[in-house]
Amino acid sequence: MSGTDTPSVEHIAYNAKGQRILAALGNGVMTRYAYDPNIFRLSRLRSERYASSSTPETGYTLPLDGSGKKYGA
């Protein structure tokens, strides 16, 4: 490997159902996942840079019809 030895994934957390709820990446981006409590389907995905507060939050809200609505920059 050349360059720096920065890990691509620093941490991944899961809920009791084994669904990913958080991924902290080596590039300073943290992604959070939210699930519908009734059908356990992904309902929201939000990513932001935790190493710098200057990066705007970006994510998706996923309605039951399956279309994704983007918010943020």
Is the pLDDT assigned to residue 71 strictly greater than 70?
A: no
pLDDT per position as a tens digit, 35-45: 999 999 999 99
pLDDT recorded at residue 6: 73
Report d(CA 32, CA 2) in Å as an integer: 30
Percentage of residues of the chain with pLDDT beyond 70: 64
What's this model's pTM, rounded to 2 decimal places? Answer: 0.67
pLDDT recorded at residue 14: 98
- Domain spans, the chain: 9-72
The beta strands (E) that lie in 1-73 are given as: 9-14, 20-25, 29-35, 42-49, 58-61, 69-72
pLDDT winner (highest mean) among 11-25, 35-49, 57-71: 11-25
